[in-house]
Chain A
Amino acid sequence: MTDMFRDKIDISLSVNGEPVEARVPAGQHLIDFLRLDQSLTGAHASCEHGVCGACTIRVDGQAVRGCLMLAAQADGADVWTIEGLTDRAEITDLQDAFVARNALQCGFCTPGMLVAAEDLLSRNSQPSREEIREHLSGNYCRCTGYEAIVDAVELVARSRAKGGTA
């Protein structure tokens, strides 16, 4: 480890719509900054090398892996976690569908899965099941077998297409 990685960096960003200013270690991952420093524990640290998707959050409108982005890189960014998306009722229909269809068991993948699903629906309002499966293939679930998750996302896509709540 060089001293460069020990250096602290000042960042200023928006987290769930609130301005945040912080001094962070240069090597700190965004997921750790959110979980440890902001007490936002909804996104989970799992594989911590960008494969499982449990730490998926939204940064500047894109779904990103919180473990692959440094907190320092989020300077000036607009960051949204499951807590913020819940509070502003942006994904209520997806959340309701996941609950109704039992699209979760241990729940550890769920917040990341929801952010990834919303990312798909925001860009493709009527995805096929094939597209849903492909898009969610960056998010592991070890419990459900994915069937219920794909069903829930498809349900919401159809409902939104019919003018349901978004």
Chain B
Amino acid sequence: MKDLSPLTGAVHHDRIHDSAIKHVTGRADYTDDIAEPAGTLHAYLGVATVTHGTIRTMNLDRVRQASGVVDVLTARDVPGVNDLSPTGRNDEPIFPDTVEYHGQPIFAVIAHSRDAARRAAELADVSYDILPHATDALSAQAAGLPQVTDPLKLERGDVAAGQATAPHRIKARMTVGGQDHMYLEGHIAFAIPGEDDDVIVHCSTQHPSEAQHMVAHALGVPLNAVTVNVRRMGGGFGGKESQMNLFAAVAAIAAKRLHRPVKIRPDRDQDMTATGKRHDFVIDYDVAFDDDGRIHAVDGHFAARCGYSSDLSGPVTDRALFHADNAYFYPHVRLTSRPQKTNTVSNTAFRGFGGPQGVIAAERMIEEVAYALGKDPLEVRRTNFYGTEGRDLTPYHQQVTDNIIGRVVDELADSARYQARRAEILQHNAQGGILRRGIALTPVKFGISFTATHYNQAGALVHVYNDGSIHLNHGGTEMGQGLNTKIAQVLADAFQVDFDRIKITKTTTEKVPNTSATAASSGSDLNGMAALDAADQIKARLVSFAAETWGVAADEVRFLPNAVQIGAEVVPFDTLIRRAYMARVHLSAAGFYKTPDIHWDRAAGKGRPFFYYAYGAACSEVTIDTLTGEYRVDRTDILHDVGRSLNPVLDRGQVEGAFLQGMGWLTTEELWWDDQGRLRTHAPSTYKIPLASDRPRIFNVALAEWSENRERTIKRSKAVGEPPFMLGISVFEALSMAVASVADYRVCPRLDAPATPERVLIAVERLKAG
């Protein structure tokens, strides 16, 4: 797999993160580290203290008079359009007249210091005409609240007929919790006014083009007046795909109004209460199956708490349906979504984008079948995997043509000794006792591409300077995943130069316009191809220059490591570049890429929304304490498919981190709203992400080195950001098995997520009571 290359930083090789040295020495600059020009002001948001109500009066005199305050912004002070809806629905005001969730921003304070702004924001005197509220999907539906966007239906076959032929049928409900991103760097925007309409916004964003669009919209200026920059984020995970728009807009409005630089950085409580999270779902499933455990029909309904506005809830709930099959063929299937409006913060993108909520429903149905029939869940999984013709159509009528799940699962089951350990664990549990153990091996198949087809485009800008150094810019953003490193490796490979010759530069709307969010795991797929296109353009010019100048045929010009062979002569890369420059060869190019062969008809529920699938599997073992519900993860083994990895060490890091984040979603991370509609878990003091002590005691992670993307992706690699998130489901299923042991595995424990120790204990007690 790993061929020897004389280049440093060649593609398919381990290469350290391009910012690694800066990270360990504290010299990597985040937005808050950019030196502030003299006179910089600081903004802070003032928020509503009711969950639903019309603002009757808002007296901000005390705010204005507070020490250090320079200005106050309200809805009336928005010079352009008072809306931040990323899908153009006009349902997400910067500052509303009617409050629709507790903690919704209703004004902003601008002061000489962040501390002064933050203190002043508490001094508003606001009265409301209170309206009734509903904060969860079911009560909101019962109260008659609308859906935030059109629901989706996916249907194939004849569900009623499938149910009629199946000897067994189970209908039940599962609730799956949401998740806060808990990026270590919270939201931040720093706006610097320029001349005319111009403004530059440094912002921690996964989607600079959208931030640019929103700022321009809010200011009432064309896009060309607004520049958005981001060198790196301290984590994103989807939380900065649309949610930074509010901060970018407020900072820009204040900066233009006051002609001074303005920075805004909410504290962690405000970051958590005023920005969206992963959608929690209520899933009703109806699965019909036979004595062999083979599924005949599935009918599933997915209701999501979307919050007060649509934001990205349409595509998120769509993706839940796209993944409600996970790796399984459903002969007859009907899946429907309900993107439910609620009086809560508007939920948004989060790694997996609804997919994990679909996958966990599939895995719950597998569990139901297994416990009903007394089978090993892995056997039921294998029975239902997508197969060859006749068993290869998804609920959205895309044919699965690159299926490798069988091999991935077989190899992992062998390397993790699943059968032997399961037998040993069954024996352990059979002895009774307080500590019970569980093991589960779960697969993942994840579709890669934005389901909004037009998002599947990317641009890059590459300059070769006349000293032979290379400048790389592309539309993707760096949030720790190593995207810049991978794209630079692609460029190093294309030009056959050492990695260090390439300068990675900040993402800016000035260099590559009209970009898509760095999301949907698409960063290296899209931007890598765009950078390659730019390199190929420059190389073509160099080849024709060399062929002409040296008098050889074009196919006699070859790029060798740090040199170019031209006929019989080998010319150093620098020399060729210098000579090409002197001969007036254009050494800069804008590259472009759009994913081929994808299409999607949402109304019909048919198409090929995904270019390809990524696969993986995880096997986790847990121990639970049946007296307290506490548990620990003893061991996890993972085998994951990234195609031909662009950078194996970075991909491993993505797999390890995604697994733990997925495990956190399903175990300790609990969002809790009280009856008044207040989020009570709004800081790490009450919202617990996994710690170093929570990770599996034994953790074996491997990439499927034999895998190669069958589609023509960048160097035959596969996307890695989201798919391994769902490997965390293995922990959830292992907990379920440990719980099931107290009733001799006759009952599916039907754990709801997150399976906090409290929920595990409740399930144990319920099963014991029979």
Contact = CB atoms under 8 A, between A and B. Distances in A.
Nearest to A94: B24
20 contacts: A41-B29, A44-B234, A46-B268, A47-B268, A48-B268, A94-B24, A102-B650, A104-B17, A104-B23, A104-B24, A105-B482, A106-B183, A106-B232, A106-B235, A107-B23, A108-B30, A137-B694, A143-B653, A146-B691, A146-B692
Interface centre among B26, B27, B181, B650 (most CB of A within 10 A): B26
Given A83-B25, A145-B659, 5 more contacts: A42-B26, A44-B30, A141-B692, A142-B181, A146-B660
Interface stretch (B431-439, B572-580, B590-598, B681-689): B681-689
A145 B660 contact: yes
Contacts of A51: 683-685
Interface residues of A, number: 55
A118 to B, nearest CB: 12
Interface of A: 1, 6, 25, 27, 35, 39-49, 51-52, 54, 81-83, 86, 94-95, 98-100, 102, 104-111, 114, 132-134, 136-137, 139-150
Contacts of B234: 44, 46, 106-108
A143 B25 contact: no
A109 B26 CA distance: 10
A140 B25 contact: no
B693 A134 contact: yes
Given A46-B185, A145-B657, A111 B26 contact: yes
Given A46-B268, A144-B657, A98 B183 contact: no
Interface centre among A6, A46, A99 (most CB of B within 10 A): A46
Contacts of A150: 692, 695
B722 to A, nearest CB: 14
Given A104-B17, A142-B182, A41 B25 contact: no
Contacts of B17: 102, 104-105, 107
A108 B234 CA distance: 5
Looking at chain B's contact residues, the main secondary structure is loop
B218 interface: no
B649 interface: yes
B28 A107 contact: yes
Interface centre among B181, B186, B684 (most CB of A within 10 A): B684
Contact of A109 (B115, B184, B660): B184
B748 interface: no
A82 B25 contact: yes
Interface in B506-549: none
A1 to B, nearest CB: 6
Say which size band chain B's interface belongs to.
35 or more
Contact of A52 (B27, B658, B684): B684
A49 B268 contact: yes
Contact of B19 (A42, A107, A133): A107
A139 B692 contact: yes
B32 interface: yes
A44 to B, nearest CB: 7
Contacts of A35: 32-33
B656 interface: yes
B397 interface: no
Contacts of B689: 140, 142
A142 to B, nearest CB: 5
A114 B24 contact: yes
B194 interface: no
Contacts of B653: 102, 105, 143-145, 148
Contacts of A25: 115
Interface centre among A43, A47, A145, A149 (most CB of B within 10 A): A145
Given A54-B184, A139-B692, A49 B683 contact: yes
Given A137-B691, A142-B661, A106 B25 contact: no
Contacts of B649: 102
A108 B184 contact: yes
B701 interface: yes
Interface string B173-208: 000000001111110000000000000000000000
Interface centre among B25, B32, B232, B683 (most CB of A within 10 A): B25
Interface string B213-237: 0000000000000000000111111
B22 to A, nearest CB: 7
Top 3 nearest A-B pairs (CB, nearest first) are: A42-B26, A106-B480, A108-B234
A52 B235 CA distance: 14
B304 to A, nearest CB: 23
A43 B25 contact: no
A134 B503 CA distance: 39
B24 A133 contact: no
B714 interface: no
B235 A143 contact: yes
Interface centre among B17, B481, B657 (most CB of A within 10 A): B657
Contact of B184 (A1, A46, A147, A149): A46
Contacts of B119: 1
Contacts of B181: 142
Interface centre among A25, A141, A142 (most CB of B within 10 A): A142
B184 A44 contact: yes
Interface string B476-492: 00011110000000000
B268 A110 contact: no
B26 A43 contact: yes
Contacts of B685: 49, 51
B699 interface: yes
Contacts of A49: 268, 683-685
A34 to B, nearest CB: 11
Interface string B672-711: 0000000000011100011111110001010000000000
A86 B25 contact: yes
B185 A106 contact: yes
A87 B182 CA distance: 31
A88 to B, nearest CB: 12
B32 A41 contact: yes
B16 A99 contact: yes
B158 interface: no
B71 to A, nearest CB: 20
B61 interface: no
Contacts of B130: none
A142 B33 CA distance: 20
Contacts of B693: 133-134, 136-137
A99 B115 CA distance: 36
Contact of A148 (B21, B25, B267, B656): B656
Contacts of B29: 41
Interface in B22-64: 22-30, 32-33, 35
A55 B481 CA distance: 22
A91 B23 CA distance: 14
Given A49-B268, A104-B20, A144 B185 contact: no
